[in-house]
Amino acid sequence: MALPETGIRGPGPGDRAVLVARGLVRKLGTGAAAREVLRGIDLEIRAGEFVALVGPSGSGKSTLLYLLGGLDHPDAGSVMIAGEDLCEVRDDALARLRNRLIGFVYQFHFLLPEFSALENVLMPLWARGRGRARAERAWGEELLGRVGLAGMEAKLPRELSGGEQQRVAVARALVNRPSLLLADEPTGNLDSANAEAVYDLFRELHRGHGQTILVVTHDAGWAARSDRVLRLLDGRVVGDERREGGR
């Protein structure tokens, strides 16, 4: 899938750290049932890196991703994205930061069923009271084109296949030109052909546009083709492998 140049980011990892996490601790449950899911995570991701976060079920991957995405708050530690401390702000201010800095792709597409593909893509702009201008709509259409859905702007989610829905979700995550794209098993719910298409899309975003990406995955293929693989076990980072360029 060839993607046109848009100038989101320059390709290749740089020296600038997009994400810095220090001493992240997260406990889930309360009282005697409380357990420490993350036990002091230190992490740094540079601009333009394509990072795979792997680990067995229950190792804390998704919990870590939600903390890094500002959807959850750590019990201790801090998360800085593009120089903004997500742990210092709460509620609506945090929602604004999330909107501006982070694109999120979930295992399920989580599209809003009453809205067309284009409207779903523009939704993060709507959250800021924007998304009606011609240029912004054109940007949404361009993103849909990039993910291979040109001409499907008016389709409702139920009129799209699972792979197409997930690609709309990717376009939505990119509409605010985020500093960091986080994905939680984005192909976990897709067949192999659609999973490959979504993978190619991520790869192209990274290689063609220098998009910084952190993907939680169980898929060994994703890990093998990433620049860097972080291994999580029992709430700790137990491996950090860098590969030159990935595959």
Partner 1 sequence: MRQVLLLAWRHLAARSRQSWLAVAGVALGVAVFVFTVSMMDGLKVFFTQRLIRVSPLLTVLPERIDVDRAREALRRVPGDAVLALSRPPVPDDRPTVRGATAQLARLRGVPGVDGASVAADVPAVLSFGTIAEPVTLVGVDPRAEAGVTELPAAVVRGRWDALEARREGAVVGVQLAGRLGVEVGDRVVAVGEGGLARELEVVGIIGTGLGATDETAAFVNLAVAQGLAGWGPDEGSEIRLRASRVDRLDGLRRRVEAVTGHRVETWQETSRASLKLFRMIGVTTYLLTGFVLVVAGLGIANKLTTIILDKERDIAILRSLGFSRAALRGVFIVQGVALGAAGALLGCAAAAGVIAYFTAFPIRFAPREGAVLAYTELYLAKDPRYYLVIGAAALAISALAALLAVRRAVRVVPVEVLRGAA
Q: Name the site residues for partner 1 (rule: CB under 8 A).
A: 62, 66, 69, 71-72, 91-92, 95-96, 98-100, 104, 106-108, 110, 112-115, 123-124, 126-129, 131-132, 172, 184
Q: Which is nearer to partner 1, 50 or 104 (CB)?
A: 104
Residue 116 CB, shortest distance to partner 1, in Å, is 10
**Closest approach of Cβ 38 to partner 1, in Å?**
14
To the nearest 10°, the Cα dihedral for 90, 104, 221, 25? 0
Give 9 or 61: the residue with its C-beta nearer to partner 1.
Answer: 61
* Closest by CA position to 204, among listed 4, 57, 27: 4
Q: How far is the CB of 169 from partner 1 (least distance, A)?
A: 10
In terms of CB distance, is 106 or 210 closer to partner 1?
106
State the DSSP string of 169-183: HHHHHHTT--SEEEE
Q: At a CB cut-off of 8 Å and minimum separation 6, what does 131 contact?
A: 122, 123, 125, 137, 140
Whether the Cβ atoms of residue 214 and residue 68 lie closer than 8 Å to each other? yes
Q: How far apart (Å, rounded) are the C-alpha atoms in residues 37 and 151? A: 44
Helix residue ranges, H only, the chain: 61-68, 91-101, 117-126, 134-146, 162-174, 192-209, 220-224
Q: How far is the CB of 12 from partner 1 (least distance, A)?
A: 29
Nearer to partner 1, 153 or 227 (CB): 153
Shortest approach of partner 1 to residue 144 CB, angstroms? 17
| Residue among 131 and 163 whose Cβ is closer to partner 1 | 131
